[in-house]
Each structure stands twice: as C-alpha cells, then as structure tokens.
Amino acid sequence: MSLSVRQILAHQGFAFPKLLAFRILMVLSYQMMMVAIGWHIYELTHDPWSLGLIGLAEVIPYMGSALFAGHAVDHYFSRRGFAAVSALFLALNAALLVVVTQHQSAHTVWWIYGIVALTGFARALISPSYNTLFALIIPRASIAKASGIGSSMFQIGLIVGPAIGGLLIGFADKSITYGLAALLALSAALAAMMLRVKEHRSHEPMKVFASIGEGLRFVQRTQVVLGAQLLDMFAVLFGGTVAMLPAFVHDVYQMGPEGLGVLRASPAIGAIVSGLWLAKHPIHEHSGRWLLLAVAGFGLSMIAFGLCDTYWLAIVILAISGMMDAVSVVLRQTILQLATPDNMRGRVSAINGIFIGSSNELGAFESGLTARLMGLVPSVVFGGCMTIAVVAVTAIKAPKLRDLHLSQLH
C-alpha cells in the first residue's frame, strides 16, 4: 500500500528528510561551485571552448571511477559512510578553489580544471550511495511519490545554488562563493552521518571486475532500464545548454553574473512544479509514452531558447524545459528503483550515473565544440533537433520502454 506524502516524510524516524537534507546541501554546494567556476573561467578566457573543457575535465575521472564506486557501495563499508566521504571530498575541492582564487597566476585556469577533475571523483560516490539509501528508506509501493518529492528538493537546490552563487560573485567575491560551498558540503556530510538505517548485505563480496560485469549484464538485458538511460544520456548530451549560459549572458543578453544565476535557476523553477505534481499524481499508466513526450518537449524548448534574444522570455523557455526534464527524471528514477534488485543498486546506480551524470559534462564539451564550429546560437538549435531525433529512434528501437506502464514493475 502506498504511503501518503506525510507518512513518507515521517517513515523510519524521519529518515527521508535527513536523506533529502544531504541531497539538497550537496546540490547547493556543487551548483554554487560550478556557477562560480564557469564565470571565473569565462572571465579569464572569454572563450566558449574553455567552458566546454570544464565538462571534459570532470567527466574523465568520473567515468573512470564510477563503476568501482558502485561496486564498493554494494559490497563494502556503510552507504551513509560513502555519502559522508563524497561530501567531505567536495568540501575539500571547494576549499582548494578558495586558495587558487587568492593566488591568481598565469596557470590559474589549469589549476581550476585540475580541481574540477577531483570533483569528478567525489561525484562518483554520490549517486550509488543516495540511491541505495533511498531504497532502504522508502517502501516499494511509495517509490514513485518519493521520487517526485526528491526531484522537487533537488530542483530547489538547482534554483537556490546558482542564484546565490551568481549574487555572491556579483556583490561579494568568487572566494566567498567557494567558501560557502565548502561549508555546505561539510553540512551535507553531517546530515549523512545522522541517518539511522539498517544496512543488510545478503551476499558475499565479489571480485571487483566480476561484480562490475554482473551489473553491466543486468543493464544490458533489461530493455526498460537501458532504453531509459540511453534516451536521457543522448538527450542531455545534445540538448544541454547550461555550459553555454555564461556566453549567452555575456554576449547575447549583455548582463553580469547576477543574470547568469537567475538564468541557470530558471529550469529548476519549472521542474519543481512538475515534481510536486508528480509527488501527488504519479504516472503509473502509459509511463513510457509520457517519458518520450517529455524528452521531445525538452528538445523543442532548447530550439526555442537558442532562437530567443530576449532575456526574460529566455527565463520562461528554460522554465518550460525544466518542467519537461523533471517528468523525464522522475519517471527514469522510478523505473531504475523498481526494476533493480536490492543487491545491485550501487552498481546499477553507478552505471546510470555514467549514462546520465556524465552526459552533462560530455554535453558541456559537445556544446563548447559545436559553438566553436557553428557559432553559439546554431549549436543550441542543432542540439535541440538532435534531441528530438533521439526520441524518435528510442520509440522505434525500445518498444518495451515505449509501451511501459509503471504498474507492471510493482
């Protein structure tokens, strides 16, 4: 029986709010750090290509370590311990950025890229630890509702983080932004350690590569999981514009970092609306079709944003893109939780992170590359068109996902 929203929040001694506190603090820290890094690097280089390199610097270490992180979460130590370690590592990276900002040199950009690479290692632990803790806390019948709540809290972080980051850069200093990001990450570590959940391991530890192979085989043979991951990966890869927002703000809208913070927060405003709606009204029927339609709507929004030269209209368009993206995220996360066995959640979450999380960074690199080759606006329009093409291919090649009803997975 599905719990009400109030019951979900109070379940197991308010464990879910504590987990949400960990998540939102991590999002705030990461988003503040990354909005400052984007502005910092563009301020130094004035080159969209340099913004794309931020994503590349993070994705290489992330992809190299994610599968090992998923194996470790499934087999060793404490999930909440891994969550705390990821937060402490993120705090260290933010503190290092404070030092770099205070000691500017000809090599500052490369120091920043190096710290971004370290952030990739920290991120590799976040998704496996969060998703395994989520499954330990939330009853199976309530996963769809809880995913909507979690998505809304995540999007609040996406609003507040960039907005605070942009305001602090504009009215204070980049080092203040990095310092606050470090404090927030430390608070996230504390929230993780406050969790009290029973962590049962019903299987013996496997050798690393055998364990990773088991996770990969599961994803490969489960069409609804693989199809959802590939759909979102390519949609974000081609349709993401976040990395190019400093260039739009600086060159198209002729505004400062305050404008960047608001623009980066705009998709999350729409996403919160969708997330709260889905928490009350989860999509159990025709879920696959709604997923495909949401991603197609996201692609159309990116085309509209690329063609828009008015700042306030761009905010509205990005908010609509956030609404579409939230539907996709909640449905994909619910599919992942319901279709994955308990003893494989860390590995499958890590694989999902490679498909989805790394696509943000690869998308940033792709956006920087196409912006250099095509120009800023044509690159965004091209990405939106490619996103719609990906939806069409997925609908044809993954019929089990297209025809999926979440009620089939309960």
Q: Do 84 and 131 belong together in one domain?
A: yes
Q: Which domain holds residue 117?
A: 1-203
Q: Do 123 and 218 belong together in one domain?
A: no
Q: What is the mean pLDDT of the chain?
A: 83
The token pair that represents 37 in the structure block = 């890094």
CATH number at residue 38: 1.20.1250.20
Q: Do 218 and 165 belong together in one domain?
A: no
Residue finishing a domain among 188, 203, 218: 203
Q: Do 124 and 250 belong together in one domain?
A: no
Q: Do 227 and 125 belong together in one domain?
A: no
Residue finishing a domain among 152, 172, 203: 203
CB distance 339 to 409 below 8 Å: yes
> What local confidence, expressed as pLDDT, does residue 181 receive?
93
Q: Do 221 and 296 belong together in one domain?
A: yes
Q: What are the φ/ψ torsions at residue 207 (nearest 5 degrees)?
A: -65, 150
Burial of 287 (0-12, 13-18, 19+ CB in 10 A): buried
- Quickly count: other Cβ atoms within 10 Å of residue 7's Cβ: 12
The token pair that represents 377 in the structure block = 């606006």
Burial of 47 (0-12, 13-18, 19+ CB in 10 A): middle
Q: Reduced to 3 states, what is the DSSP secondary structure of residue 194? A: coil
| Low-confidence spans in the chain with pLDDT less than 70 | 1-5, 10-13, 77, 199-205, 240, 357-362, 364, 408-410
> What local confidence, expressed as pLDDT, does residue 199 receive?
66
Instruction: Report how many domains make up the chain.
Output: 2
The token pair that represents 88 in the structure block = 């402490």
Question: What is the rounded distance in angstroms from the CA atom of residue 385 to the CA atom of residue 340?
Answer: 32
Q: Do 78 and 136 belong together in one domain?
A: yes
Q: Do 102 and 211 belong together in one domain?
A: no
Q: Do 215 and 83 belong together in one domain?
A: no
> What local confidence, expressed as pLDDT, does residue 358 receive?
59
Q: Do 364 and 220 belong together in one domain?
A: yes
H or E element in which residue 244 lies = none
Q: For 217-260, write each residue's pLDDT tens digit.
A: 888 888 888 888 888 888 777 776 777 788 888 888 888 777 77
Q: Do 147 and 44 belong together in one domain?
A: yes
The token pair that represents 107 in the structure block = 């090599």
Contacts of residue 82, defined as CB under 8 A and 6 or more positions apart, other chains included, come to: 69, 72, 73, 125, 128, 129
Q: Do 223 and 290 belong together in one domain?
A: yes
Residue finishing a domain among 203, 226, 253: 203
The pTM of the full predicted model, rounded to 2 decimals, is 0.74
